[in-house]
Structure 1
Amino acid sequence: MLVALTVFGILLAWIALRKKTLAKATTNRLMRACVFVEFLTLAGLAALELTDAPLSTWRFVLCVACTLTASGAMFYWLRRMRGCASATAAVFVFSALIVSEVVVYACTLLPPIVEHGFAAALVLLQYPCTLWARSREKAHAIDALTPESDYFSVSGDVLANKKFLSATAIGIACMGAVTGLLRGYPDGLPIPFSPVTRVAYGLLVIVVSAVVIALVLKRFESVMTVGFFILLEAVACLALILFSAFPHSLDIGAVLATTLNALMVSFVWYITIAFMSAGWRDPYYYAMSGWIVWLGSRAVARVALLEIYPLHADTLVLCAVMGSLIVLSTQVVFVQFLGISQVVAHNRAQTIREQAAAAAERRAADAARDTANADGSATKAGEGGTTPQGTLAQGAAKESILARIMGLDQQESLTDMRQATLEHNAQEIGSQFMLSEREIEVLALYARGLTQKRVAEELYISPGTAHAHIKRIYAKTGLHSRQEIIDYMEKYAS
């Protein structure tokens, strides 16, 4: 995991420094490559089971490659969910967790060589699933609940949501370290399950995931915010208690420890979708950031436990450390969550005041035009106002360092914001005129002012194909020029 995360760290730095945004064609090719390489690594692991020779180096290389490519495939599916409602994301991630638990349990019943072969076959099913997903309704178009104080909220204060996401990243890092320590309690080595405890773990994860889905669909608004952190805290504390109560049957405590790990996986999926929706960087930036924060904390804690335990085998100190991290992870989130309602209320009141002031200025300007000194009055009326550029600068100044690192800071230019708006408007027009997915991509780029040749380069298609797409867009929409498209977007799609 640490090797894989190092690779992700390098890619993360490259995306951040170059402010790179991957084109959709690139992400599709990357997905296909990840699935294919993941299949090859699993087939290679199956082949290693046929030999008696100790091939630990090859096994390690294959496992690193499998971790990288499997993560890349997950990033693709998370990317498809960006912009969706909170309830949609919750149902998605916990349904995926339930299915994965069933599949993983089935694999554990098979001999190793058959297990790897079965997993390799399942990996290839992602190819038809990608085609199926493209023919279905987009996730962001599904009408579902998004609570006002939730990670996915767009009606609340943007800065407050950024603070909450930043605090959540800290909480996830602390809980990730707790998970790593619990999974290797007390010496860092794996804890083997018995058949009974393995079934108990799987059933517990499925039941908890189903309950979370049910609560979300019943519109319990705090389920996926502080409610879920309380759940994680409770599971971690119960795992500590069971480890202490049954020191000679560690697999009993491991049921809760592994359940905590599974729930953390789905929660990080959920938060990653929120980051993708709230931030302006490429979606893969947030996916890799989430993996590094969560799995990096878990891996470092586990490796540290392996190294430290032989030198200082004191489980009491270990339990105290884990308890402290549990408290820290939840309290950071709780404190930030309590402040959100105050910030949102304050900013709403400020927005109302600004709107009232703007309306008063417009009325004063209208009245001034009917008087002889209209020019002087209009100038005076505008002196005390706050320009949009000034407001934007003030907001950028307030951004925290952590928000900048996580890509939740203000965009560095209005061009990026305009690009995001055009992409959204292209989606709206695509829905209105039944444009294909590729035509929507072409429309968004063409509306930005790109030539047909540049559109072709961005999407890795020929100029002739780009020209054909633009002709079909004109035919379907009844518009006849780039300016007409832009005017239509501003009037009907914004």
Structure 2
Amino acid sequence: MNVPSEEPRGTDRTLVPVIAGLACSAVSFALVVQQGRLTGASPAANGLVTLVVCLAAAALALISMRVGRLAKRAVFLITFIAIHIAGIGALGLTFLDVAGGDAPAFLTGALEALSGTGSVLLAFYWLRKLRAATADATALVAFSALMVSAVLVAVLGILGPAVRHLAAFALSFAQFAITRASRRHDAPGEVRPAQPGAYFGTGEARYSDRGYLATALIGVCGMALAAGVAEALTPPTAGDPLAEVLRRLVSLVCAGAAAFCALRHARSHSERPLAPELWIALGLFVGVGTVLLSLGGEAAFAGGSVATAAALLLQAMVSYLSVAFASFGARDPYVYAAVSWVALNACQVVGTDLGYLVAAAAPGNLAPAIAVMGLCALASTQVVFSQLMRDPERTVVLSDLEEGNLPERITPSTIVIAASIEQALLEADGSAGDASSEAVGAEPSASPTPVDIATDGSNTSAAPTPAPVASPEVHIATSVISMGQRFGLTGREIEVLTLYALGHTQARVSEELHLSQNTVHTHIKRIYDKTDLHSRQEILDYLAEYEG
């Protein structure tokens, strides 16, 4: 079967609606919940509104975990509701501002929480839209949206509450036009599919590893706690408009410099993963902010601005993490987006309260609070880098271990596909084997598991198990790996080609690998281009001849 030769379009056009939508949701949340500040918890009731929004996001994560992969209709419904509640909440606050007088705190807080929840759900939608996109495209979206939103919040945040809430209302309902525009283009992940190693330099299996996910959360929580403590220690600028403008300007310059470096990295399509550099930048910003805060006076003012820039970068980092895990993890993308967002904002609230508490316990002495801030940042960085430096090759095929080599361009998840297929075939034939065993009065033989060897090469089984005779299906699967090495196929192309050569339709391949049919279609076309083959039968003929 031939595949049309239509070339995929560039990603820049497909990324524009995602950048606009993510930036609008971030600005709406900052103008309503954070009351015009660049970052930080809600000033109302010591971050109570932020915690309420965190509860709503956590509820969505639990529902997504229970239901599994949400259907497209459910995603559209959630987005439709989110746009309305974000806009209605902001509009209600605008009416209260225009009416004047002292509105009940409960009503104001409820409207802020309603609008903030809608804005956050919209951010989750755009992160979901970005799943399976390349790491450079993800970084481009995350940091472009960061700078657009930071500039808008810096300008609109110093205006009155009525202007802020009206702007949030307009930006919320502008999401209707942005979502319509995004549907005119292919999803970014369909134009240029992601590779697992491009995000963190690790294999795809790590994205479903609970320990790896927990490490990422620990890193986010530690940095968020440090940012929260820094916010509590920063001298207030209330009543001094010039000082507030200078503080915002310093934060924008610092965050903009780091974002510019990240964007250059993304535009260069560098093979080096961006995540370690982002963590280094975060640690550096927090360290500089800690030193400046410890000096006091004008230096403390600058330290608070640098810490605010670190918090802004952390928001972009959370978006990057969410898309990475959503692209290759086993859960619905809403789970990763919601959990990482809750970890960031809830820990920032806790950090702010902790900073106030420690400072109150030692009046006039900021050393204990600064020590807590530095300890949180240091611990999170240490945990993240110790995990990133670990060997990601955990799951391998028995034959590769015995031969002592691993393909360089194939990730662990794609190498193990042959063994996984073999195990599935053995399980499928188990009922027939049991029936034949009963007929002749013989004991059925146990099916060997595909991975009975530790990563150091030692056998973990009690006794060696004889290798089963390779079936034609396993022969094809292992031959595809050799073919992939010869023609330089990517890991995802190896997976697609294996199932495609086994006779699966594109729809079935899409279902098995959790990809859209357009993405599978693009992969197959690229496989044909790289191998100079033009049909499934030619691929099968080549595999038979190559291994013959």
TM-score of the aligned structures, taking structure 2 as reference length: 0.63
CA RMSD of aligned residues (A): 3.8
Aligned residues: 387
Which whole-Å CA distance do the structure 2 matches of 1:355 and 1:36 have between them?
60
Deviation at 1:108, TM superposition (A): 2.7
Specify the alignment match of 1:275 in structure 2.
325
Which whole-Å CA distance do the structure 2 matches of 1:145 and 1:210 have between them?
22
Which whole-Å CA distance do the structure 1 matches of 2:239 and 2:80 have between them?
35
Distance 1:214 1:191, change over 3 A: farther
Specify the alignment match of 1:136 in structure 2.
185
1:176 aligned to 2:220?
no
Distance 1:191 1:85, change over 3 A: farther
Which deviations, in whole Å up to 9, do the C-alpha atoms of 1:140-189 show, x marking residues without a partner? 12337757363386xx3513873544322211111111111111216999
Q: Which has the higher helix share?
A: 1
Which whole-Å CA distance do the structure 1 matches of 2:94 and 2:450 have between them?
60
Which deviations, in whole Å up to 9, do the C-alpha atoms of 1:217-272 show, x marking residues without a partner? 32444452221111000000111112122435643222111101110001001101
Specify the alignment match of 1:339 in structure 2.
390
2:350 partner letter: V
Which deviations, in whole Å up to 9, do the C-alpha atoms of 1:377-424 show, x marking residues without a partner? xxxxx9898444979xxxxxx9xxxxxxxxxxxxxxxxxx98841652
2:191 partner letter: I
Matches within 5 A, 1:398-477: 420-421=511-512, 423-424=514-515, 426-428=517-519
Deviation at 1:73, TM superposition (A): 0.4
- The answer to whether the 8 A contact 1:188-1:303 is kept is no
1:181 partner letter: V
Deviation at 1:14, TM superposition (A): 3.5
Deviation at 1:288, TM superposition (A): 1.3
Distance 1:222 1:80, change over 3 A: same
Distance 1:8 1:281, change over 3 A: same
The more displaced of 170-179 and 199-208 is: 199-208
- The answer to whether the 8 A contact 2:220-2:380 is kept is yes
1:158 partner letter: A
Deviation at 1:92, TM superposition (A): 0.9
Which whole-Å CA distance do the structure 2 matches of 1:78 and 1:282 have between them?
12
Indicate which of 332, 342, 345 corresponds to 1:292: 342
Indicate which of 125, 139, 147 corresponds to 1:76: 125
Specify the alignment match of 1:458 in structure 2.
none
1:301 aligned to 2:351?
yes
1:48 aligned to 2:96?
yes
Deviation at 1:352, TM superposition (A): 1.9
Deviation at 1:293, TM superposition (A): 1.6
Specify the alignment match of 2:306 in structure 1.
256
Which deviations, in whole Å up to 9, do the C-alpha atoms of 1:262-311 show, x marking residues without a partner? 10001001101112112222221111111222211111121233345333
Which whole-Å CA distance do the structure 2 matches of 1:141 and 1:191 have between them?
50
Deviation at 1:429, TM superposition (A): 6.3
Which whole-Å CA distance do the structure 2 matches of 1:422 and 1:139 have between them?
17
- The answer to whether the 8 A contact 1:49-1:113 is kept is yes
Which whole-Å CA distance do the structure 2 matches of 1:319 and 1:253 have between them?
11
1:316 aligned to 2:374?
no
Matches within 5 A, 1:156-175: 156=203, 158-159=205-206, 162=209, 163-175=211-223
Structure 2 unpaired stretches of 5+:
1-49, 406-417, 423-443, 454-459, 461-507, 525-535, 541-548
Which whole-Å CA distance do the structure 1 matches of 2:108 and 2:247 have between them?
28
Which whole-Å CA distance do the structure 2 matches of 1:149 and 1:133 have between them?
25
Specify the alignment match of 1:216 in structure 2.
266
Which whole-Å CA distance do the structure 2 matches of 1:322 and 1:100 have between them?
26
1:339 partner letter: R
- The answer to whether the 8 A contact 1:152-1:278 is kept is no
Which whole-Å CA distance do the structure 2 matches of 1:294 and 1:28 have between them?
26
Distance 1:385 1:302, change over 3 A: same
1:66 partner letter: S
Which whole-Å CA distance do the structure 2 matches of 1:80 and 1:94 have between them?
16
Which deviations, in whole Å up to 9, do the C-alpha atoms of 1:424-478 show, x marking residues without a partner? 2633467699xxxxxxxxxxxxxxxxxxxxxxxxxxxxxxxxxxxxxxxxxxxxx
Which whole-Å CA distance do the structure 1 matches of 2:350 and 2:386 have between them?
27
Distance 1:304 1:187, change over 3 A: farther
1:353 partner letter: L
Specify the alignment match of 1:353 in structure 2.
401
Distance 1:214 1:242, change over 3 A: same
Specify the alignment match of 1:404 in structure 2.
none
Which whole-Å CA distance do the structure 2 matches of 1:252 and 1:350 have between them?
57
- The answer to whether the 8 A contact 1:182-1:254 is kept is yes
Which deviations, in whole Å up to 9, do the C-alpha atoms of 1:65-105 show, x marking residues without a partner? 12211110000000001111111111111111111122212
Structure 1 unpaired stretches of 5+:
363-381, 392-397, 399-416, 434-486
Q: Give the secondary structure class of the aligned counterpart of 1:255.
A: helix
1:229 aligned to 2:279?
yes
TM-score of the aligned structures, taking structure 1 as reference length: 0.69
Distance 1:175 1:256, change over 3 A: same
Which whole-Å CA distance do the structure 2 matches of 1:274 and 1:131 have between them?
25
Which whole-Å CA distance do the structure 2 matches of 1:261 and 1:279 have between them?
26
Which whole-Å CA distance do the structure 1 matches of 2:512 and 2:194 have between them?
23
The more displaced of 68-77 and 246-255 is: 246-255
Specify the alignment match of 1:436 in structure 2.
none
The more displaced of 132-141 and 265-274 is: 132-141
Indicate which of 42, 58, 71 corresponds to 1:9: 58
Which whole-Å CA distance do the structure 1 matches of 2:196 and 2:205 have between them?
14
1:105 partner letter: A
Deviation at 1:6, TM superposition (A): 2.1
Specify the alignment match of 2:255 in structure 1.
205
Deviation at 1:327, TM superposition (A): 1.2
Which whole-Å CA distance do the structure 2 matches of 1:220 and 1:428 have between them?
23
Indicate which of 56, 66, 79 corresponds to 1:31: 79
Specify the alignment match of 2:433 in structure 1.
none
Deviation at 1:29, TM superposition (A): 1.6
Which whole-Å CA distance do the structure 2 matches of 1:166 and 1:189 have between them?
37
Which whole-Å CA distance do the structure 2 matches of 1:317 and 1:419 have between them?
55
